[in-house]
Structure 1
Amino acid sequence: MNAIRTGVPAPRSADRAPAAGSALEKTLRIMEALAAPGGPHRLGSVAASSGVPKSSTYRVLVSLVEQGYAVTDGEGGYGMGLQLRTLAAQVGADRPEGIVRLLEFLQRSTGQSVHLALYDGGTGLTCVRKAESDRAFRTSTRVGTRLPLHASAIGKAVLAHLPGAEVEALALATGLAPITRRTITTVERLADELVAVRARGYALDQEESEVSVRCMAAPVFDRDGAPVGGLGLSAVTFLTSGEELEAYAPALSEAARGVERLLQLG
Protein backbone atom coordinates (compact mmCIF):
# COMPACT_ATOMS: atom_id res chain seq x y z
CA MET A 1 0.00 0.00 0.00
CA ASN A 2 1.22 3.49 -0.78
CA ALA A 3 2.90 5.02 2.31
CA ILE A 4 1.74 8.54 1.49
CA ARG A 5 -1.93 7.47 1.33
CA THR A 6 -1.79 5.67 4.65
CA GLY A 7 0.13 8.45 6.45
CA VAL A 8 3.04 6.12 7.14
CA PRO A 9 6.44 7.87 6.59
CA ALA A 10 8.32 6.69 3.53
CA PRO A 11 11.35 4.59 4.44
CA ARG A 12 14.78 6.23 4.26
CA SER A 13 18.06 4.38 4.14
CA ALA A 14 20.23 4.75 7.22
CA ASP A 15 23.15 6.20 5.30
CA ARG A 16 21.20 8.82 3.37
CA ALA A 17 21.50 12.43 4.61
CA PRO A 18 18.46 14.71 4.92
CA ALA A 19 17.77 16.86 1.88
CA ALA A 20 18.92 20.10 3.54
CA GLY A 21 22.11 18.52 4.81
CA SER A 22 22.81 16.99 1.44
CA ALA A 23 22.38 20.34 -0.30
CA LEU A 24 24.68 22.01 2.22
CA GLU A 25 27.34 19.35 1.81
CA LYS A 26 27.23 19.71 -1.96
CA THR A 27 27.58 23.48 -1.73
CA LEU A 28 30.55 23.22 0.64
CA ARG A 29 32.32 20.71 -1.62
CA ILE A 30 31.74 22.96 -4.62
CA MET A 31 33.15 25.95 -2.72
CA GLU A 32 36.21 23.88 -1.83
CA ALA A 33 36.67 23.04 -5.51
CA LEU A 34 36.41 26.74 -6.42
CA ALA A 35 39.14 27.59 -3.90
CA ALA A 36 41.59 25.06 -5.36
CA PRO A 37 44.69 26.54 -7.07
CA GLY A 38 44.71 26.98 -10.83
CA GLY A 39 41.35 28.69 -11.29
CA PRO A 40 39.14 29.65 -12.94
CA HIS A 41 37.84 26.09 -13.11
CA ARG A 42 35.54 24.63 -15.76
CA LEU A 43 32.12 23.32 -14.77
CA GLY A 44 33.13 19.72 -15.44
CA SER A 45 36.25 20.10 -13.31
CA VAL A 46 34.29 21.55 -10.38
CA ALA A 47 31.73 18.76 -10.66
CA ALA A 48 34.44 16.09 -10.75
CA SER A 49 36.41 17.57 -7.86
CA SER A 50 33.35 18.02 -5.67
CA GLY A 51 31.71 14.71 -6.57
CA VAL A 52 28.47 16.52 -7.35
CA PRO A 53 26.53 15.82 -10.58
CA LYS A 54 27.16 18.41 -13.26
CA SER A 55 23.54 19.61 -13.38
CA SER A 56 23.47 20.15 -9.60
CA THR A 57 26.90 21.80 -9.70
CA TYR A 58 25.67 24.25 -12.31
CA ARG A 59 22.63 25.21 -10.23
CA VAL A 60 24.77 25.74 -7.13
CA LEU A 61 27.32 27.79 -9.07
CA VAL A 62 24.60 30.05 -10.47
CA SER A 63 23.40 30.71 -6.93
CA LEU A 64 26.95 31.32 -5.65
CA VAL A 65 27.58 33.81 -8.46
CA GLU A 66 24.34 35.65 -7.61
CA GLN A 67 25.43 35.87 -3.95
CA GLY A 68 28.97 37.02 -4.75
CA TYR A 69 30.68 33.84 -3.53
CA ALA A 70 31.71 32.83 -7.04
CA VAL A 71 32.51 34.61 -10.28
CA THR A 72 32.39 33.48 -13.89
CA ASP A 73 34.80 34.54 -16.61
CA GLY A 74 32.05 34.38 -19.23
CA GLU A 75 33.78 31.51 -20.99
CA GLY A 76 32.67 28.63 -18.81
CA GLY A 77 35.20 29.13 -16.05
CA TYR A 78 34.36 29.72 -12.37
CA GLY A 79 36.45 31.07 -9.51
CA MET A 80 36.16 32.43 -5.99
CA GLY A 81 34.04 35.55 -5.67
CA LEU A 82 34.91 38.46 -3.42
CA GLN A 83 32.57 37.28 -0.68
CA LEU A 84 34.35 33.93 -0.51
CA ARG A 85 37.79 35.58 -0.64
CA THR A 86 36.87 37.94 2.18
CA LEU A 87 35.44 35.09 4.24
CA ALA A 88 38.75 33.23 3.84
CA ALA A 89 40.64 36.32 4.96
CA GLN A 90 38.41 36.72 8.00
CA VAL A 91 38.97 33.09 8.96
CA GLY A 92 42.70 33.64 8.64
CA ALA A 93 42.52 36.77 10.77
CA ASP A 94 40.85 34.75 13.52
CA ARG A 95 44.17 32.97 14.00
CA PRO A 96 45.95 36.12 15.10
CA GLU A 97 49.26 35.15 16.67
CA GLY A 98 51.55 35.81 13.72
CA ILE A 99 49.54 38.79 12.49
CA VAL A 100 49.54 40.43 15.92
CA ARG A 101 53.30 39.99 16.22
CA LEU A 102 53.83 41.49 12.77
CA LEU A 103 51.59 44.50 13.50
CA GLU A 104 53.27 45.06 16.85
CA PHE A 105 56.71 44.93 15.21
CA LEU A 106 55.63 47.50 12.60
CA GLN A 107 54.23 49.72 15.36
CA ARG A 108 57.47 49.58 17.36
CA SER A 109 59.52 50.26 14.22
CA THR A 110 57.51 53.31 13.19
CA GLY A 111 56.00 54.61 16.42
CA GLN A 112 52.64 54.93 14.66
CA SER A 113 49.31 53.17 15.09
CA VAL A 114 48.91 50.16 12.79
CA HIS A 115 45.56 48.90 11.45
CA LEU A 116 44.51 45.85 9.50
CA ALA A 117 41.10 46.18 7.84
CA LEU A 118 39.27 43.73 5.59
CA TYR A 119 36.94 44.56 2.72
CA ASP A 120 33.46 43.10 3.18
CA GLY A 121 32.63 43.02 -0.52
CA GLY A 122 30.02 45.71 0.04
CA THR A 123 30.49 49.40 0.70
CA GLY A 124 33.06 49.45 3.48
CA LEU A 125 35.83 47.84 5.47
CA THR A 126 36.10 46.59 9.03
CA CYS A 127 39.14 47.06 11.25
CA VAL A 128 40.02 43.57 12.52
CA ARG A 129 43.38 44.21 14.21
CA LYS A 130 45.12 47.26 15.68
CA ALA A 131 48.50 47.88 17.29
CA GLU A 132 48.10 51.17 19.15
CA SER A 133 50.75 53.87 19.24
CA ASP A 134 52.21 54.54 22.69
CA ARG A 135 52.11 58.28 22.07
CA ALA A 136 49.88 60.58 24.11
CA PHE A 137 47.61 61.36 21.15
CA ARG A 138 45.90 58.42 19.45
CA THR A 139 43.52 57.84 16.57
CA SER A 140 39.88 56.97 17.21
CA THR A 141 39.75 53.77 15.11
CA ARG A 142 39.21 50.59 17.12
CA VAL A 143 38.76 46.92 16.27
CA GLY A 144 35.29 46.62 14.79
CA THR A 145 35.26 50.17 13.42
CA ARG A 146 33.82 50.50 9.92
CA LEU A 147 36.05 52.48 7.55
CA PRO A 148 34.73 54.37 4.50
CA LEU A 149 36.14 53.23 1.18
CA HIS A 150 36.45 56.68 -0.39
CA ALA A 151 37.78 58.56 2.66
CA SER A 152 40.24 56.18 4.27
CA ALA A 153 43.73 55.24 3.12
CA ILE A 154 42.95 51.54 3.39
CA GLY A 155 39.71 52.04 1.47
CA LYS A 156 41.49 53.83 -1.35
CA ALA A 157 44.19 51.14 -1.40
CA VAL A 158 41.42 48.60 -2.03
CA LEU A 159 39.50 50.71 -4.56
CA ALA A 160 42.65 51.31 -6.61
CA HIS A 161 42.78 47.61 -7.42
CA LEU A 162 39.11 46.98 -8.17
CA PRO A 163 37.65 47.19 -11.71
CA GLY A 164 36.63 50.70 -12.72
CA ALA A 165 32.98 49.73 -13.16
CA GLU A 166 32.90 48.34 -9.63
CA VAL A 167 34.44 51.52 -8.23
CA GLU A 168 31.80 53.62 -10.01
CA ALA A 169 29.04 51.40 -8.64
CA LEU A 170 30.42 51.72 -5.12
CA ALA A 171 30.68 55.50 -5.50
CA LEU A 172 27.04 55.60 -6.57
CA ALA A 173 25.98 53.35 -3.68
CA THR A 174 27.82 55.35 -1.00
CA GLY A 175 27.30 58.81 -2.46
CA LEU A 176 30.89 59.75 -1.52
CA ALA A 177 29.59 61.50 1.57
CA PRO A 178 31.79 64.27 3.03
CA ILE A 179 33.25 63.33 6.42
CA THR A 180 35.64 66.25 6.79
CA ARG A 181 36.24 69.29 4.59
CA ARG A 182 39.09 67.36 2.91
CA THR A 183 37.03 64.31 1.91
CA ILE A 184 36.97 63.48 -1.80
CA THR A 185 33.34 63.76 -2.89
CA THR A 186 33.37 63.47 -6.69
CA VAL A 187 33.92 60.45 -8.91
CA GLU A 188 36.38 62.41 -11.06
CA ARG A 189 38.63 63.38 -8.14
CA LEU A 190 38.44 59.87 -6.75
CA ALA A 191 39.46 58.38 -10.09
CA ASP A 192 42.48 60.71 -10.25
CA GLU A 193 43.41 59.77 -6.70
CA LEU A 194 43.27 56.05 -7.47
CA VAL A 195 45.61 56.53 -10.43
CA ALA A 196 48.10 58.14 -8.02
CA VAL A 197 47.64 55.28 -5.54
CA ARG A 198 48.53 52.69 -8.17
CA ALA A 199 51.57 54.72 -9.26
CA ARG A 200 52.88 55.11 -5.69
CA GLY A 201 51.99 51.62 -4.49
CA TYR A 202 50.26 52.99 -1.41
CA ALA A 203 47.32 55.25 -0.52
CA LEU A 204 47.15 58.40 1.58
CA ASP A 205 44.42 59.92 3.72
CA GLN A 206 45.15 63.56 4.49
CA GLU A 207 42.61 64.30 7.22
CA GLU A 208 39.86 62.98 4.95
CA SER A 209 38.19 60.70 7.49
CA GLU A 210 39.33 62.22 10.78
CA VAL A 211 40.51 65.76 11.52
CA SER A 212 44.18 66.01 12.57
CA VAL A 213 44.90 62.43 11.46
CA ARG A 214 46.83 61.37 8.36
CA CYS A 215 47.16 57.78 7.23
CA MET A 216 49.07 55.68 4.72
CA ALA A 217 47.97 52.21 3.59
CA ALA A 218 49.12 49.35 1.40
CA PRO A 219 46.67 46.87 -0.12
CA VAL A 220 46.51 43.23 0.96
CA PHE A 221 45.83 40.80 -1.89
CA ASP A 222 44.69 37.20 -2.06
CA ARG A 223 46.65 34.62 -4.03
CA ASP A 224 44.85 35.58 -7.25
CA GLY A 225 45.70 39.26 -6.91
CA ALA A 226 42.30 40.52 -5.72
CA PRO A 227 42.31 43.08 -2.87
CA VAL A 228 40.76 41.79 0.34
CA GLY A 229 41.82 44.62 2.64
CA GLY A 230 44.76 46.74 3.60
CA LEU A 231 47.37 47.53 6.22
CA GLY A 232 47.63 51.12 7.39
CA LEU A 233 49.75 53.47 9.48
CA SER A 234 47.99 56.38 11.20
CA ALA A 235 49.55 59.45 12.81
CA VAL A 236 48.34 62.73 14.24
CA THR A 237 49.29 65.63 11.99
CA PHE A 238 50.93 67.80 14.65
CA LEU A 239 53.36 65.02 15.63
CA THR A 240 54.20 63.44 12.27
CA SER A 241 54.55 65.23 8.93
CA GLY A 242 53.42 63.72 5.66
CA GLU A 243 57.03 63.25 4.58
CA GLU A 244 57.90 61.45 7.81
CA LEU A 245 54.94 59.10 7.42
CA GLU A 246 55.66 58.31 3.77
CA ALA A 247 59.25 57.42 4.66
CA TYR A 248 57.79 54.25 6.20
CA ALA A 249 56.25 53.14 2.87
CA PRO A 250 58.81 50.35 2.19
CA ALA A 251 58.32 48.88 5.67
CA LEU A 252 54.55 49.10 5.31
CA SER A 253 54.61 47.35 1.92
CA GLU A 254 56.79 44.55 3.27
CA ALA A 255 54.48 44.10 6.25
CA ALA A 256 51.44 43.92 3.94
CA ARG A 257 53.11 41.08 2.03
CA GLY A 258 53.71 39.37 5.35
CA VAL A 259 50.03 39.69 6.24
CA GLU A 260 49.13 38.06 2.92
CA ARG A 261 51.30 35.07 3.74
CA LEU A 262 49.88 34.78 7.25
CA LEU A 263 46.35 34.85 5.86
CA GLN A 264 47.47 32.02 3.57
CA LEU A 265 46.13 33.95 0.61
CA GLY A 266 49.33 35.25 -0.91
Structure 2
Amino acid sequence: MENKNPIQVADRLFLVLETLAETGPVPLADLCRHLDLNKSTVHRLLSSLIYMGYVKQDSETGKYALSFKLLTLSNKLMSHMDILETVRPFLKKLSEETGETVHFVQLDGLDAVYIYKEESYQNSIRMVSKVGSRIPLYCSGVGKAMAADMKETQIREIWDNSPIRKLTPHTIIHYTQFLDKIKEVQQKGYALDDEENELGVRCIAVSIPDFKGRPKYAFSISAPVARMSDKRIEELSKIVLHIKKEITANMR
Protein backbone atom coordinates (compact mmCIF):
# COMPACT_ATOMS: atom_id res chain seq x y z
CA MET A 1 0.00 0.00 0.00
CA GLU A 2 1.29 3.45 -0.91
CA ASN A 3 2.07 5.83 1.95
CA LYS A 4 1.62 8.83 -0.30
CA ASN A 5 -1.66 9.92 -1.82
CA PRO A 6 -1.36 9.31 -5.61
CA ILE A 7 -3.64 12.30 -6.24
CA GLN A 8 -2.00 15.24 -4.51
CA VAL A 9 -4.86 17.66 -5.07
CA ALA A 10 -7.25 15.26 -3.29
CA ASP A 11 -4.84 15.14 -0.38
CA ARG A 12 -4.89 18.95 -0.17
CA LEU A 13 -8.65 19.23 -0.56
CA PHE A 14 -9.25 16.93 2.39
CA LEU A 15 -6.53 18.70 4.37
CA VAL A 16 -8.51 21.92 3.94
CA LEU A 17 -11.71 20.20 5.10
CA GLU A 18 -10.00 18.68 8.14
CA THR A 19 -8.36 21.99 9.04
CA LEU A 20 -11.63 23.92 8.79
CA ALA A 21 -13.26 21.30 10.99
CA GLU A 22 -10.63 22.09 13.63
CA THR A 23 -10.50 25.87 13.29
CA GLY A 24 -14.11 26.78 12.58
CA PRO A 25 -14.73 29.97 10.52
CA VAL A 26 -11.35 31.43 9.59
CA PRO A 27 -9.90 34.19 7.34
CA LEU A 28 -7.91 33.17 4.27
CA ALA A 29 -4.60 34.39 5.70
CA ASP A 30 -5.01 32.33 8.87
CA LEU A 31 -5.99 29.25 6.89
CA CYS A 32 -2.86 29.63 4.74
CA ARG A 33 -0.74 29.66 7.89
CA HIS A 34 -2.46 26.53 9.23
CA LEU A 35 -1.97 24.70 5.93
CA ASP A 36 1.51 26.10 5.23
CA LEU A 37 0.45 26.77 1.64
CA ASN A 38 0.54 29.96 -0.41
CA LYS A 39 -2.51 32.17 -0.82
CA SER A 40 -3.22 31.39 -4.49
CA THR A 41 -3.12 27.60 -3.88
CA VAL A 42 -5.45 27.80 -0.88
CA HIS A 43 -7.81 30.10 -2.75
CA ARG A 44 -8.07 27.58 -5.63
CA LEU A 45 -8.75 24.74 -3.19
CA LEU A 46 -11.42 26.78 -1.44
CA SER A 47 -13.04 27.74 -4.75
CA SER A 48 -13.28 24.06 -5.68
CA LEU A 49 -14.81 23.12 -2.32
CA ILE A 50 -17.26 26.02 -2.51
CA TYR A 51 -18.28 24.89 -6.01
CA MET A 52 -18.94 21.37 -4.66
CA GLY A 53 -20.87 22.75 -1.71
CA TYR A 54 -18.55 21.64 1.09
CA VAL A 55 -17.30 25.09 2.07
CA LYS A 56 -19.00 28.48 2.30
CA GLN A 57 -17.71 32.03 2.67
CA ASP A 58 -19.40 34.59 4.90
CA SER A 59 -20.25 37.60 2.74
CA GLU A 60 -19.75 40.04 5.64
CA THR A 61 -16.62 38.73 7.40
CA GLY A 62 -15.01 36.99 4.42
CA LYS A 63 -14.27 33.98 6.63
CA TYR A 64 -14.40 30.44 5.27
CA ALA A 65 -16.18 27.59 7.03
CA LEU A 66 -17.54 24.11 6.39
CA SER A 67 -21.09 23.86 5.09
CA PHE A 68 -23.69 21.41 6.36
CA LYS A 69 -23.06 19.07 3.41
CA LEU A 70 -20.56 17.04 5.45
CA LEU A 71 -23.11 16.71 8.22
CA THR A 72 -25.62 15.44 5.67
CA LEU A 73 -23.12 12.80 4.54
CA SER A 74 -22.46 11.86 8.15
CA ASN A 75 -26.17 11.45 8.85
CA LYS A 76 -26.58 9.28 5.75
CA LEU A 77 -23.69 7.10 6.92
CA MET A 78 -25.22 6.74 10.37
CA SER A 79 -28.61 5.86 8.88
CA HIS A 80 -27.09 2.76 7.29
CA MET A 81 -25.64 1.51 10.57
CA ASP A 82 -28.32 -0.92 11.71
CA ILE A 83 -26.26 -1.72 14.79
CA LEU A 84 -27.27 1.63 16.31
CA GLU A 85 -30.96 0.74 16.08
CA THR A 86 -30.19 -2.44 18.00
CA VAL A 87 -28.02 -0.98 20.75
CA ARG A 88 -29.64 2.42 21.32
CA PRO A 89 -32.45 1.30 23.69
CA PHE A 90 -30.01 -0.76 25.76
CA LEU A 91 -27.51 2.09 26.06
CA LYS A 92 -30.26 4.52 27.05
CA LYS A 93 -31.34 2.04 29.71
CA LEU A 94 -27.73 1.68 30.90
CA SER A 95 -27.25 5.44 31.19
CA GLU A 96 -30.53 5.88 33.07
CA GLU A 97 -29.78 3.00 35.43
CA THR A 98 -26.25 4.15 36.27
CA GLY A 99 -26.66 7.90 35.93
CA GLU A 100 -23.50 8.06 33.83
CA THR A 101 -22.52 8.83 30.24
CA VAL A 102 -22.37 5.84 27.89
CA HIS A 103 -20.36 5.66 24.66
CA PHE A 104 -20.62 3.22 21.76
CA VAL A 105 -17.67 2.85 19.40
CA GLN A 106 -16.69 1.07 16.23
CA LEU A 107 -13.25 -0.30 15.41
CA ASP A 108 -11.50 1.65 12.66
CA GLY A 109 -7.88 0.69 12.08
CA LEU A 110 -5.78 1.62 15.10
CA ASP A 111 -8.57 3.63 16.71
CA ALA A 112 -12.09 3.39 18.01
CA VAL A 113 -14.55 5.91 16.58
CA TYR A 114 -17.41 7.22 18.72
CA ILE A 115 -20.62 6.52 16.78
CA TYR A 116 -23.11 7.05 19.61
CA LYS A 117 -23.17 8.86 22.94
CA GLU A 118 -25.86 8.77 25.59
CA GLU A 119 -25.21 11.74 27.86
CA SER A 120 -26.33 11.50 31.45
CA TYR A 121 -28.31 14.49 32.70
CA GLN A 122 -28.33 13.30 36.29
CA ASN A 123 -24.87 14.76 36.87
CA SER A 124 -23.57 18.26 36.24
CA ILE A 125 -20.21 17.13 34.82
CA ARG A 126 -20.30 16.55 31.05
CA MET A 127 -17.89 14.34 29.07
CA VAL A 128 -16.05 16.24 26.33
CA SER A 129 -16.16 13.32 23.86
CA LYS A 130 -18.07 13.81 20.60
CA VAL A 131 -19.62 11.47 18.06
CA GLY A 132 -17.15 11.14 15.19
CA SER A 133 -14.05 11.68 17.32
CA ARG A 134 -11.43 8.97 17.65
CA ILE A 135 -9.59 7.36 20.53
CA PRO A 136 -6.51 5.09 20.29
CA LEU A 137 -7.04 1.42 21.13
CA TYR A 138 -3.90 1.06 23.27
CA CYS A 139 -4.94 3.58 25.93
CA SER A 140 -8.72 3.18 26.11
CA GLY A 141 -11.13 0.85 27.82
CA VAL A 142 -13.08 0.23 24.61
CA GLY A 143 -9.82 -0.47 22.79
CA LYS A 144 -8.64 -3.02 25.30
CA ALA A 145 -12.09 -4.63 25.39
CA MET A 146 -11.98 -5.22 21.61
CA ALA A 147 -8.32 -6.23 21.65
CA ALA A 148 -9.11 -8.94 24.19
CA ASP A 149 -11.19 -10.68 21.51
CA MET A 150 -8.41 -10.55 18.91
CA LYS A 151 -5.60 -12.96 18.11
CA GLU A 152 -2.27 -11.93 19.60
CA THR A 153 -0.78 -11.37 16.13
CA GLN A 154 -3.49 -8.76 15.48
CA ILE A 155 -2.92 -7.16 18.90
CA ARG A 156 0.81 -6.96 18.18
CA GLU A 157 0.20 -5.41 14.77
CA ILE A 158 -2.02 -2.72 16.28
CA TRP A 159 0.55 -1.98 18.98
CA ASP A 160 3.49 -1.81 16.53
CA ASN A 161 1.65 0.58 14.24
CA SER A 162 0.21 2.84 16.94
CA PRO A 163 2.02 6.06 17.92
CA ILE A 164 2.48 4.97 21.54
CA ARG A 165 2.67 8.08 23.73
CA LYS A 166 2.39 8.65 27.45
CA LEU A 167 -0.78 10.75 27.40
CA THR A 168 -1.00 10.72 31.20
CA PRO A 169 1.23 9.33 33.97
CA HIS A 170 -0.99 6.21 33.87
CA THR A 171 -0.71 5.42 30.16
CA ILE A 172 0.76 1.99 29.45
CA ILE A 173 3.66 2.30 27.00
CA HIS A 174 5.22 -1.18 27.23
CA TYR A 175 3.79 -4.05 25.20
CA THR A 176 4.28 -6.70 27.91
CA GLN A 177 2.28 -4.61 30.39
CA PHE A 178 -0.40 -4.08 27.77
CA LEU A 179 -0.65 -7.83 27.17
CA ASP A 180 -1.00 -8.40 30.92
CA LYS A 181 -3.97 -6.00 30.93
CA ILE A 182 -5.50 -7.81 27.95
CA LYS A 183 -5.26 -11.10 29.82
CA GLU A 184 -7.08 -9.49 32.76
CA VAL A 185 -9.83 -8.38 30.40
CA GLN A 186 -10.14 -11.91 29.02
CA GLN A 187 -10.53 -13.26 32.55
CA LYS A 188 -12.98 -10.63 33.83
CA GLY A 189 -14.95 -9.96 30.65
CA TYR A 190 -14.56 -6.18 30.88
CA ALA A 191 -11.79 -3.61 30.45
CA LEU A 192 -10.82 -0.47 32.33
CA ASP A 193 -9.32 2.86 31.41
CA ASP A 194 -7.64 4.00 34.62
CA GLU A 195 -6.98 7.63 33.64
CA GLU A 196 -4.81 6.34 30.77
CA ASN A 197 -6.28 8.61 28.13
CA GLU A 198 -7.47 11.55 30.24
CA LEU A 199 -6.59 12.45 33.82
CA GLY A 200 -9.56 12.44 36.16
CA VAL A 201 -11.68 10.04 34.07
CA ARG A 202 -12.16 6.29 34.51
CA CYS A 203 -14.06 4.03 32.13
CA ILE A 204 -15.36 0.48 32.18
CA ALA A 205 -15.95 -1.13 28.80
CA VAL A 206 -17.04 -4.36 27.11
CA SER A 207 -16.82 -5.46 23.49
CA ILE A 208 -19.68 -6.34 21.16
CA PRO A 209 -18.92 -8.63 18.19
CA ASP A 210 -20.38 -8.10 14.73
CA PHE A 211 -22.70 -10.68 13.14
CA LYS A 212 -19.66 -12.80 12.16
CA GLY A 213 -18.33 -12.81 15.70
CA ARG A 214 -15.46 -10.42 14.99
CA PRO A 215 -14.48 -7.74 17.56
CA LYS A 216 -15.88 -4.62 15.94
CA TYR A 217 -17.81 -2.64 18.56
CA ALA A 218 -17.64 -1.77 22.24
CA PHE A 219 -19.49 0.36 24.75
CA SER A 220 -18.31 2.03 27.92
CA ILE A 221 -19.37 3.97 30.97
CA SER A 222 -17.23 7.03 31.62
CA ALA A 223 -17.19 9.15 34.75
CA PRO A 224 -14.91 11.28 36.92
CA VAL A 225 -12.69 9.25 39.24
CA ALA A 226 -14.62 10.59 42.26
CA ARG A 227 -17.61 8.53 41.09
CA MET A 228 -15.65 5.52 39.86
CA SER A 229 -14.15 3.86 42.92
CA ASP A 230 -13.05 0.22 42.70
CA LYS A 231 -16.21 -0.75 44.56
CA ARG A 232 -18.39 1.10 42.04
CA ILE A 233 -16.45 -0.47 39.16
CA GLU A 234 -17.26 -3.88 40.60
CA GLU A 235 -20.96 -2.98 40.79
CA LEU A 236 -20.98 -1.57 37.27
CA SER A 237 -19.21 -4.62 35.86
CA LYS A 238 -22.24 -6.79 36.61
CA ILE A 239 -24.53 -4.29 34.89
CA VAL A 240 -22.43 -3.84 31.72
CA LEU A 241 -21.93 -7.59 31.33
CA HIS A 242 -25.68 -8.09 31.60
CA ILE A 243 -26.33 -5.37 29.00
CA LYS A 244 -23.75 -7.00 26.71
CA LYS A 245 -25.59 -10.29 27.00
CA GLU A 246 -28.88 -8.60 26.11
CA ILE A 247 -27.40 -6.78 23.10
CA THR A 248 -25.67 -9.84 21.64
CA ALA A 249 -28.86 -11.87 22.06
CA ASN A 250 -30.75 -9.25 20.02
CA MET A 251 -28.12 -9.24 17.26
CA ARG A 252 -28.69 -12.89 16.33
TM-score by length of 1: 0.61
CA displacement at 1:243 relative to structure 2: 1.8
Using the alignment, how far apart are the partners of 2:249 and 2:206 within structure 1?
Answer: 15
Residue 115 of structure 2: aligned partner? 128
CA displacement at 1:229 relative to structure 2: 1.4
CA displacement at 1:161 relative to structure 2: 1.1
- The letter for the 2-side match of 1:129 is Y
CA displacement at 1:261 relative to structure 2: 4.6
Distance verdict in 2 for CA 1:141–1:259, change over 3 Å: farther
Secondary structure in structure 2 of the residue aligned to 1:133: coil
- Pick from 132, 140, 144: which aligns with 1:156? 144
Instruction: Using the aligned pairs only, state the percent identity.
Output: 27
Q: CA RMSD in A?
A: 2.2
Secondary structure in structure 1 of the residue aligned to 2:139: coil
Residue 126 of structure 2: aligned partner? 138
Residue 160 of structure 2: aligned partner? 172
- Pick from 227, 234, 238: which aligns with 1:239? 227
Residue 181 of structure 1: aligned partner? 169
Using the alignment, how far apart are the partners of 1:261 and 1:145 within structure 2?
Answer: 28
Distance verdict in 2 for CA 1:141–1:246, change over 3 Å: farther
1:93 aligns with 2:83: yes
1:147 aligns with 2:130: no
In the alignment, is the contact (CA less than 8 A) between 1:220 and 1:257 conserved in 2?
no
Q: Give runs of aligned pairs for residues 1-266 of structure 1, distance below 5 A.
A: 91-93=81-83, 96=85, 98-120=86-108, 122-134=109-121, 135-262=123-250, 264=251, 266=252
In the alignment, is the contact (CA less than 8 A) between 1:216 and 1:233 conserved in 2?
yes
Point out where structure 1 has 5 or more consecutive residues left out of the alignment.
Answer: 1-86
CA displacement at 1:260 relative to structure 2: 3.3
Using the alignment, how far apart are the partners of 1:99 and 1:231 within structure 2?
Answer: 10
Number of residues of Structure 1 aligned to a counterpart in Structure 2? 175
In the alignment, is the contact (CA less than 8 A) between 2:210 and 2:217 conserved in 1?
no
Residue 40 of structure 2: aligned partner? none
